[in-house]
Amino acid sequence: MSEIAHATITFEGYFARDLPEMAIPWRAEEAPDPQLLMLNEALAVELGLDPVLLQGPEGIRLLIGNAIPEDSSPVAQAYSGHQFGWYSPRLGDGRALLLGEIAGADGRLRDVHLKGSGRTPFARNGDGQAVVGPMLREYIVSESMHALGIPTTRSLAVVATGRPVQRETLLPGAVLTRVASSHLRVGSFQYARATNDMDLLRRLADHAIERHHPSSEAEANRYLGLLQDVISVQAKLVAQWMLIGFVHGVMNTDNMTISGETIDYGPCAFMEGFDPGAVYSSIDETGRYAYRNQPLVAEWNLARFAESIAPLIHEDEEQAVTLAVEALNGFREQYSATWFNGMRAKLGLPEVIDDGVASPLVDDLLELVQESRADYTSFFQSLSKAARGEVEPARRMILDLAAFDAWLERWQAVTPDADAMDRVNPIYIPRNHLVEEALTAATEGDMGPTERLIEAVASPYSERPGLEKYAAPAPESFGPYRTFCGT
Ligand code: AMP
Ligand code: MG
C-alpha cells in the first residue's frame, strides 16, 4: 500500500459503479523493475498530482497500478467493435485497465488508464504486454496533437517494466499511463446494444451524457441530443486531422470516442508529400483508412453508433431510423464547415470572404500541391513567407509554375494575413523519420532524442533557432514509410 497514493490521490469508480456489466475488476501485473521513462509534469499538476512524488519509487508504482489507493477498484472495460469493417462482439481491454476517474485541479473528471498492464479476461491470444517503442510513440504523438489544439487523450507517463516482451525480437516492456475525458467508445455502445439489455444501454447513454454532453440532458429527446453531439464533435475532430495532415490508421469503431478525442495512436502518421490516398499502416491492405477516407469512415462509424442507440431515440423503429438518419445528415455539413474554415485560415484569407472567391483558391491550391507531392506541412510554412513577399520557397515546391504564379496573383489580391497563417500552420510536427529515430534510441536506452522531439513538437507554432531538423521532411533515404500496429 502506498503512502503517496493515500496522500495525494483518489480514484473514483463511476464507470464501474454505473456499468458493472461492462467492468471486470482486475489488477495490473506486478512489474519486476519499474523505471520511469517519461513523466508529463505539466499534466500531473493539472490533475492535482505532485510530480516530485510521482518520480519516487512509490509514485512510479502508482503510475502503473502496482500501488493503488485501498478503496480504488481498477477494471477492464468491455466493448465491441468493427475492425476493418468486421464486427467483433467481444474486444474490451485485453491489456489495459481503467484505474478510475480523477477530478483534476479544475474539477473536471478524467480517466486514468493503463496500457500494457498485463493480460485480462479480454486478452484472447494477446500477451497483455506493451513495449517501450509504441508506448513512447503514443506519448509523443498525443502530446503533439494536444499542442496543435486537436482534442486527444493525453499521456501522463511511460514506465519501463523491466520485463522483456517477445515480439519479432525481444523488446523492453512498458506501461503507458493515459488520461482521457473518458474511454467510452462507439464500440462500448455496440457492446451494450448487443446484450439486448435496454436498461444497460440506457445507463450507458446516461453516463455518457453526464460526462460529455450535459447539454442534451435538458432536451426533449436527450438520446437524440447525444447522437447529434457525438456527430458534431467527431465531424470537427476529423476535419482537424485532415487540416493538419494526420492519418489515424486504424479507425475501427472501438477506436472512436464518444468525447470527440483522438484515441489509440497505433499505426498513425503525419503525411509528408501531399497525397490524398496516403496509407501508412502495414495491415491496411485495401487502404480503408487512407487519408482521404477518414471523413467517410467517421460517418460510417457514427452510423454504427446511431444503430446502437436507436432504441433509445424512439420506441418505434421506423421513427428512430428517420430521426437518426436526419442527425447523420448533419455530419457532412459540419465536417465541411470546419474543414473549409480551417483551410481559409491556413491560406490567411479574411474571415469574411465570398465563397465564390475562397473555394476555388483552396481547391486550386490543393490540386497544385497534390500534383507536386509537396511536403504538406512545409508547404504551408513557405506560403506564409510568400504572403510576406518571399515567394521562392513556395515556388520551389511546386511543379507547374505557370499555374502557381497565376494562383499567387489571385491569392495576393485578397491580401492574405501572414501572421494569422503562422498561428494555424505548424512548423514542428512529429515527423515519421524522427519518431522512428527517437524510438530506436529509446529502445536502446537513450531517451535524449525522444525528449528533444517532444520539446520541439510541444510548441508547434513558434519557430526556434536550432530546431531546423524538426521542421524538415524526411531525407530521400528514409524511403516510403510503413507503420506497424505496434503492440
Ligand atoms: P488496438 O488495436 O490497440 O485498438 O486493440 C484492439 C484490441 O486488441 C483491444 O481489445 C486490445 O485490448 C487488444 N489487444 C491489443 N494488443 C494486445 C495484447 N498484446 N494483449 C492483449 N490484448 C491486446
Ligand atoms: Mg483500441
Which atom of ligand 1 is the closest one to the Cα of 79?
A: 10
Ligand 1 test: best mutation among 95, 175, 268, most atoms within 8 Å of CB?
A: 95
Query: C-alpha distances in angstroms, 203 versus 192, 206, 268, 287, 449?
Result: 10, 5, 33, 36, 46
149 vs 106, residue with greater confidence:
149
Ligand 1 test: best mutation among 79, 82, 91, most atoms within 8 Å of CB?
A: 91
* Residue 52 burial (10 A CB sphere; 0-12, 13-18, 19+): exposed
Which atom of ligand 1 is the closest one to the Cα of 96?
A: 12
Lowest mean per-residue pLDDT among 169-173, 400-404, 480-484: 480-484
Distance 65 CA to ligand 1 centre (A): 18
pLDDT at 487 over 70: no
Q: Which of 292, 306, 372 is nearest to 339 (CA)?
A: 292
Query: C-alpha distances in angstroms, 282 versus 158, 375, 435?
Result: 25, 22, 17
pLDDT at 196 over 80: yes
**Which bound ligand lies closest to the C-alpha atom of 485?**
1
What digits encode the pLDDT tens for the residues 13-43? 999 999 999 999 999 999 999 999 999 999 9
Distance 487 CA to ligand 2 centre (A): 11
Which atom of ligand 1 is the closest one to the Cα of 254?
A: 4
Q: Average the pLDDT over 318-330 and give the result.
A: 98
User: For residue 1, what pLDDT is reported?
Assistant: 39
User: For residue 142, what pLDDT is reported?
Assistant: 98
Q: Which of 156, 157, 113 is nearest to 11 (CA)?
A: 113
pLDDT at 4 over 90: no
User: For residue 123, what pLDDT is reported?
Assistant: 98
User: For residue 2, what pLDDT is reported?
Assistant: 45
Place of cell 524538426: 470
User: For residue 7, what pLDDT is reported?
Assistant: 54
pTM listed for this prediction: 0.97
- Geometric angle at alpha carbon 185, from 179 and 188, rounded to 5°: 120
- Geometric angle at alpha carbon 390, from 387 and 391, rounded to 5°: 85
Which atom of ligand 1 is the closest one to the Cα of 91?
A: 10
161 contacts 32 by C-beta, under 8 angstroms: yes
295 contacts 253 by C-beta, under 8 angstroms: no
Cell numbers for 186 = 462507439
Q: Residue 100: left if φ>0, alpha if ψ -120 to 50, beta else—which one?
A: left
pLDDT at 218 over 90: no
User: For residue 277, what pLDDT is reported?
Assistant: 97
**Which bound ligand lies closest to the C-alpha atom of 127?**
1
**Which bound ligand lies closest to the C-alpha atom of 125?**
1
Ligand 1 test: best mutation among 77, 129, 487, most atoms within 8 Å of CB?
A: 487
Distance 74 CA to ligand 1 centre (A): 18
What digits encode the pLDDT tens for the residues 383-409? 999 999 999 999 999 999 999 999 999
- Geometric angle at alpha carbon 458, from 156 and 442, rounded to 5°: 60
407 contacts 366 by C-beta, under 8 angstroms: no
Distance CA 79, CA 300 (A): 18
> Which residues, in sequence order, are CB contacts of 233 under 8 Å at separation 6+?
151, 259, 260
Cell numbers for 338 = 470546419
> Which residues, in sequence order, are CB contacts of 480 under 8 Å at separation 6+?
none
Which atom of ligand 1 is the closest one to the Cα of 130?
A: 19
Distance 264 CA to ligand 1 centre (A): 10
Backbone angles phi, psi at 218, to 5 degrees: -85, -10
Distance CA 391, CA 127 (A): 54
Q: In which band, very low, low, confident or very high, does the pLDDT at 481 lie, cut at 50, 70 and 90?
A: confident
Atom 22, ligand 1: which residue's CA is nearest?
94
- The mean pLDDT of the chain is 96
Cell numbers for 308 = 446502437
- In percent, the amount of the chain with pLDDT more than 90 equals 93
Residue length, the chain?
A: 487
pLDDT at 485 over 80: no
What digits encode the pLDDT tens for the residues 338-362? 999 999 999 999 999 999 999 999 9
Distance 187 CA to ligand 2 centre (A): 10
Distance 21 CA to ligand 2 centre (A): 20
User: For residue 484, what pLDDT is reported?
Assistant: 74
Structural domain boundaries of the chain?
A: 2-180, 184-427+471-487
Q: Average the pLDDT over 420-431 and give the result.
A: 98
Ligand 1 pocket, CB under 6 A: 91-96, 122-123, 126-129, 250, 254-255, 264, 266, 485, 487
What digits encode the pLDDT tens for the residues 432-477? 999 999 999 999 999 999 999 999 999 999 999 999 999 999 998 8
Q: In which band, very low, low, confident or very high, does the pLDDT at 6 lie, cut at 50, 70 and 90?
A: very low
Atom 7, ligand 1: which residue's CA is nearest?
91
267 contacts 482 by C-beta, under 8 angstroms: no
Atom 17, ligand 1: which residue's CA is nearest?
126
Distance 223 CA to ligand 1 centre (A): 30
**Which bound ligand lies closest to the C-alpha atom of 183?**
2
Distance 487 CA to ligand 1 centre (A): 8
Distance CA 360, CA 344 (A): 11
Positions marked catalytic: 254
**Alpha helix positions (H), 38-120:** 41-46, 51-55, 57-63
358 contacts 346 by C-beta, under 8 angstroms: no
User: For residue 65, what pLDDT is reported?
Assistant: 98
93 contacts 122 by C-beta, under 8 angstroms: yes
What digits encode the pLDDT tens for the residues 90-129? 999 999 999 999 998 888 999 999 999 999 999 999 999 9
Backbone angles phi, psi at 16, to 5 degrees: -60, -35
Atom 6, ligand 1: which residue's CA is nearest?
91
Which atom of ligand 1 is the closest one to the Cα of 128?
A: 20
pLDDT at 162 over 80: yes
Distance CA 57, CA 79 (A): 33
User: For residue 258, what pLDDT is reported?
Assistant: 98
User: For residue 216, what pLDDT is reported?
Assistant: 87
Cell numbers for 474 = 524526411
